[in-house]
Structure 1
Amino acid sequence: MSGQPSFAATPSALKGVRVIEMGQLIAGPFAGKTLGEFGAEVIKIEPPGAGDPLRNWRLMKEGTSVWWQVQSRNKRSLALDLREAQGQDIARKLIAEADVLIENFRPGTLEGWGMGYEQLAALNPGLIMLRISGYGQTGPYRDLPGFGSIGEAMGGLRHLTGEPGRVPVRCGISIGDTLAALHGVIGVLTALYHRDANDGQGQVIDVALHEAVFNVMESLIPEYSAFGAVREAAGSALPGIAPSNAYRCADGFVLIAGNGDSIFKRLMTAIGRSDLADDPTLANNAGRVARVDELDRAIEAWTAPRSSADVLAALSAARVPTGKCYTARDIAEDPHFRARDMILRQTTRDGYDIDVPGIVPKLAGTPGSVRTSAPKLGDDTDAILREMGLADSQIAELRAKGAIA
């Protein structure tokens, strides 16, 4: 690690919190990543052989996904076969000394291994167990397989994405998984506070992918309940709020949010449409919504022949919220991201340097940090087992039987 203030030793908000991560791919591991960034010790249990499938997702460098370098930083890797009795015994001993267990298996998987919450809480009454699944631990759909994309569909998000009358589109990332992970982290932090401030008892946090998506759907259900209104896809516009849309420039698109009353006046003045700025029927949002198509045409007639840089400069001077639709290159070259440590230079265990996202949120007193790079499979197996009191001969026996790698 080098070159960024975020990597300096700082007080850690979650120092002393031990997390056992059993999840794979995105939702569970993203929760573990977030806790690790704020000082928790995260031990990631991976199956011997291929390990977490995320190691092989998307673009690879030196045989490992570069996504892995972000998702698994600040973690220790224990290659342990949870399908074997000896592997389960080791996991139980680890969990007995842990604060948090994260898992995102299909409901019933841990129970089948004799590691349901009741059994684990008998060993560790203070255990907090984060369970992320497609549909939650209860209900008629609990046993159905679920991915983040299905959660986005069932949670109501996919119906709103895309252009009216066309196939729904995804936003390009696994937003359902990430929303579930963030809700899980909120649950873990809340449960840790309750445990330590009250009776020392842990609890289960049950996060369903579709519910995490549904939780951010704003007025979707109240509008249906009150008016029978079913919100539909609206492309890049913000339905019921105007003007707020993406507008074509000579070299791409910019987002312009001119929906505040005073902002609207400044926007119309900046684009040379004082007639619209001074129109009393457009003085409030309701009037603007009624003429949204007219307003969008007027704005794009001004943006279309101009470069995005010229549009941004003019509207920034007019104090109108606007922004370019950034690509990865735009983000990497933007000085604001660098100034706020949102792009960090990280040295991987394969020896190469790579830019990775920084840490959110920014805590003034106990900021997050990247203390270690992402591990290779089983990097920490022997060290963790020795810390548990196993002798080298016992470790060798477990490895010979395939329980560890």
Structure 2
Amino acid sequence: MPHTPSSPRTGQNPTPPPGASKRAAPDRGRTLLGPALRLVHTGQAPTRSALTGALDVTRATAGAVTAELEALGLITVDSRPAGGGRGRPSHRLALADPGPAVLAAQLHADAVSVTLAGLGGRLHGPVHLPLPADTSPTALLDAVAETGARLARDSRRRVLGAALALPNPVTEPDGTVPSSLHFDWPPGTPVDALFAAAVARTDPGPRTRTPLPTAVANDANLAALAEHRHGAGRGARHLLLVTSGHRGVGGALVIDGRLHTGSSGLALEVGHVTVDPLGRPCACGNRGCLNAETDTYALFAAAERRPDPDRPLLPQARALAHDPDAADALAHVVDRLGLGLAGLANILNPDRIVLSGLHLDLLAAAPDRLAAVVADRCLWGRSGRIPIVPAQVGHAGLVGAAELAWEPYLDDPQAVAAP
């Protein structure tokens, strides 16, 4: 089965080309299918009137576009116009339910998550499983693919693609892992090709598109995409996301709706920003990296406590962040997180910073302290504080993986009709 990759580089930008006229020609309508679907997908066009204004087209063109998207089984158009306001009532637009779906999966340091996902960032019954005993690349990806195939067989939805979020850097465009932080995978593991092969070996049932397009990407990048389209990052032009899960720190930057992934997909390795040259050793060989100073292990070390090895680590760290007896440890870690965010803000000048994972709890436990450290050390913070906000999207890595799998169809909705 051939492999059809998609890329998280493609972002949302529904704005028509400059100078576009309001002609209702059929070819004009077809070129607007993708931008229109993105607007409905991200909740920016709940009515046909809103879509007409966002696309800057005539009512006739908007009607033709929505009719085509409805015929493709992607949206529904309420036959009764929505009233209650000034002007002519407008038809409500919604994503088709049930509509087509994609498979979204995420590898964690200690678990696997797999789900079906519709448009609009909607997950349908995520399945969370412990890691298999064999975590070699082929065995682990086979387990992910087989779980996804089972979900596809059990669903009445047509499955159009599959994507996987990884807790590792992923190179572009070849989809290799230069170094594996959580699994004993050799450097340069071709995870993109291995995932495509694993999916091809499964039987996802007759309703699944064949061949099934697949893609892989870094989980922090995908979480940022999810927050930008469906959560705390909506409306931001320059969105910086920083997160800490089971171990280490990840980050991602969205600029004008597109992920900034650098020349080979490895940009924004924020975990290796130094915040204390004399601090804790980092796996990269340096000391005092954000990775080593603000993750779950760092908080336990600062509190001089040991986590329970028989329980998931992240929930324990989150509880510790709100423990009054660990206030000094919290302050220590928050200060170092603030130094890291300030350094990143000085370089990137984002208009919003979104924190997730453990960092969300650090923000909740000490919002004023964290904001003060960033403002004190950040040039832009002094001239106008950068909003630091908590993430809003649950299972953001899975939602981001779904975005990656949906990307070819957001670019070209008519591809949904392909066999």
Fold in common (TM above 0.5): no
Q: Per chain length, whose mean CA-contact separation is higher, i.e. which structure has more relative contact order (CA < 8 Å, sep 6+)?
A: 1
Q: TM-score range by the shorter chain?
A: under 0.3
Higher-Rg member (1/2):
1
Q: Using structure 2 for the length normalisation, give the TM-score.
A: 0.26
Q: Using structure 1 for the length normalisation, give the TM-score.
A: 0.27
